[in-house]
Amino acid sequence: MKIAIIKWKDSTLHGTDQIYGDSDELKPMDGISCGLLVRKTRDSITIATDYWGNDQWRNCETIYRKQVYHLTIKEIHMEVDRGHEPLGEHHSEDRKRAVG
């Protein structure tokens, strides 16, 4: 499994307020998105917040590659384990190992 950290430019919505044509606000925004790497192609990068196993993802975001100006991908060693109980106070040692 991999995590992607993406620095990219996005369009900016200015709402319904009046704005002057020479305003410094009339430009794209710089942003940072990060998540579990779902797919990387020549044209786009898709990340998600959640993975459930069997190629099932949730809260996906696809970013057009031409908008990306920096991309970092990190390998993580983690799998979905259907036999685990949720972490609670009595699992503090497991939690320390899982979180790092």
Mapping DSSP onto H, E and C, the string for 14-67 reads CCCCCCCCCCCCCCCEEEEEEEEEEEECCCEEEEEEEECCCCCEEEEEEEEHHH
For residue 5, pLDDT beyond 80: yes
**pLDDT band at 17; cut points 50, 70, 90:** confident
Q: What is the pTM for the complete model shown?
A: 0.74
82-88 average pLDDT score: 63
84-89 average pLDDT score: 61
Q: Higher model confidence: residue 30 or residue 86?
A: 30
Please report the pLDDT score of residue 52 as a whole number: 92
